[in-house]
Structure 1
Amino acid sequence: MINSFLNYTGSKYRIMDQLIPLFPNRCDTMIDIFGGSGVVTVNYHGANNFVFNDKNEPLVILIDYVANHSIEFIEKSINKIITEYGLTDTMTHGYEYYHVSSNKGLASINKPGYLRLRRDYNNLDDPKMKPLYLYALIIFGFNNQIRFNNKGLFNNPVGKRDFNKNMREKIRAFSKKWKAKSPRIVSKDFRNIEITKGDFVYADPPYLITTATYNENGGWTTKDDQDLLDYLDHVQKKGAKFALSNVIEHKGYRNDMLIDWSKKYNVFNIANTFKNSNYHTKNLTSKEVLITNYETSI
């Protein structure tokens, strides 16, 4: 399995080995309607064509940039940003050069340059540089996360790491695999994604009964949840297949609307992974499921 170069809240990388066997063996077009980090699109091989969609426009622009530029050019550009903003480069110098240990991390050293970079990104109008600045912020940001406030400004604080070997290997592997598949990249509301017979729709929406960066401040509502279920019913009527990742129970809450709707389809339990993800709680009692409108061999 290929991991994404983005650390996106709710990423399915850790459960891809559970999901892929439950996906259709073959389809004409696979449509990832809440694409996020791209990890599902890049790891599914059963489609002739791929469509990656996400409503987060800066995220989509960044993935499109990676799809259309060489990895050598991207690395060279990030290195220039590192130099311009006085950020660390442990790949070249090691931690000893900065008089810190890997355990302590680089936050105190990078904070001034990082805050200046974040300010410049939020004020930047140049569409050619915008995705590179965003990627640099992700590299040097806390847990490599993508986080915007309700005004659309990037607001993730500085992190402990830099453009190290692991980060470089991730984007190289992702870029190579992504370019081989060449998904069509779009940024639409899921309600506006058109479906035809023979398609396979994968949906990994914000979870109504959990809290994460993507559904703070009313970012995902009960109406959105209902509209998605109606949309998937429409997929069924069109003669296409769908698989929906979701949570039916979490911290004592139940998504009764989802539970009732799922009774007409197939429900597969997925091993709990929340303790290893970016949710801000430990020792959760959660029931994660994959709901499909087709039979599988498992």
Structure 2
Amino acid sequence: MDLLSLRYFRAVARREHISRAAEELRVAQPSVSRTIARLEAELGVPLFDRQGRTVRLNRYGAAFLIRVERALDELDDGRRELHDAAGIDQGSVAIAAETLMPLAHLLGDFRAAYPGVAVRLLQSTPETMLDQLRTREVDFCVASQPLDGPGLETVRLRREEVQLVVPAGHRLADRERVSVADLFGEPFITTGPGHWQRVLLERLFAPTGRRPVIACEGDEPAATLFLIRAGLGIGLGPALAREATAHEPISWVRLDAPGCFRTLSLVRRADGYLSVAAARFRDVAVAYYTASKGAAED
């Protein structure tokens, strides 16, 4: 049993698909199939149930995967720790977020301070971020809503008010405050289910027994304000976006409803090795949001 066999097994177990695992590993499919067959022969039990080209992790494979994940994670952490101790390179950091907009200026500061650190960014839903933390695909998630899971460590970066955004000339543009009832029938520009804007919108409407009218939904929260500016509907926006769109022909109106806030948090696995590069990113992120205008409200 060698490390290559274990890595091949983990990839197939995660995907439950030989071809997709081979693509991820960048090797030929027959090589993966032969490696899994040798591993099963060595262990003396089948790890997958097979039906044609479909493979499903069986109870033996599920039990073995827990041990393999733990062993490979420990070895990967050990390699990073040795690299840090020996100063072989300046490392890398992988970050996932629902929207990349809150990271733009922060990462500019980070790259200026640590130009040798490789940065990898992924845009993910909260569900995907939890999986990426579980598999250690990323070091951190910048979450716009709580990420709940065992063994997670969370640092709050910023708590900011969320307001209603309407195009110039809209009937609500000159109001200081509006209620949710004022929004009945209005077309909303929002994100898809699961994203923080959509979750908050549905939570605001839930007590009324009504559902928001969704005129447009997508996976890019940063596009919402520009579609509102074009007059396609109204939407929700955080204070951070208001600062960045001060000169746009849109109006921001306070919502007279509880819980109209977004909390940005930095989330990582508490049991994972914190590399020097990752620790530096965490420190820069905390310092950036502590110093930024309108940072965390208590």
Structure 2 length normalisation: TM-score?
Answer: 0.26
> Is the radius of gyration larger for structure 1 or structure 2?
2
Structure 1 length normalisation: TM-score?
Answer: 0.26
Higher share in strand: 2
